[in-house]
Amino acid sequence: MRKPQNKRKSDRQRPKFDKKNQQEADVPTPEMDDVVLGKHATIEALQANRGNKLFLQEDIKGNKIEEIKQLAQEKIVSIKWVPKSKLDEMVDGLNHQGIVLKITPYEYLSLSELLEKTKEKENRFFLILDSIMDPHNLGSILRTADAVNVDGVIIPKHRAVGVTPVVVKTSTGAVEHIPISRVTNLSQTVKELKKENIWVFGTDMEGTDYTQWNVSGDIALIIGNEGKGMGQALKKEVDEMITIPIDGHVQSLNASVAAGLLMYEVHRKRR
Supply the pLDDT for residue 250: 60
Supply the pLDDT for residue 249: 58
Supply the pLDDT for residue 245: 87
Supply the pLDDT for residue 135: 92
Strand pairing category for 99-103 and 35-37: antiparallel
Nearest Cα neighbor of 125 from 108, 146, 156 is 146
Supply the pLDDT for residue 169: 85
Supply the pLDDT for residue 32: 61
For residue 80, CA distances in Å to 48, 77, 88 come to 20, 10, 15
How far, in Å, CA of 50 to CA of 102, rounded?
A: 8
b/e map of 144-169 (b: 16 or more CB within 10 Å)? bbbebebbbbbbbeeebbbbbbbbbb
- 155's CB contacts (< 8 A; 6+ apart) are 128, 129, 132, 138, 162, 180, 181, 182, 183
Strand pairing category for 240-243 and 199-209: parallel
Strands laid side by side in the 125-129 sheet: 180-183, 152-156, 125-129, 219-223, 199-209, 240-243
Supply the pLDDT for residue 94: 82
Supply the pLDDT for residue 198: 97
Q: Is 93 exposed, middle or buried (0-12, 13-18, 19+ CB in 10 A)?
A: exposed
b/e map of 176-200 (b: 16 or more CB within 10 Å)? bebbbbbbeebeebbeebeeeebbb
How far, in Å, CA of 271 to CA of 269, rounded?
A: 5
Q: List, in sequence order, every residue forming a beta bridge with 243; answer none if it has no partner.
A: 209
Nearest Cα neighbor of 67 from 34, 44, 50 is 44
> What does pLDDT average to in each consecutive run of 10 residues of the chain (271 residues)?
41 35 36 79 90 92 93 94 91 87 90 96 96 93 96 95 88 90 96 96 91 96 88 92 80 85 96 86
Cα-Cα-Cα-Cα torsion 252, 253, 255, 257, nearest 10 degrees, comes to -170
Question: HSE-up of 259 (CA within 13 Å, CB side)?
Answer: 32
pTM here? Answer: 0.75
Domains of the chain by start residue, with CATH: 35-102 (3.30.1330.30), 111-270 (3.40.1280.10)
For residue 144, CA distances in Å to 34, 86, 181, 211 come to 24, 33, 17, 19
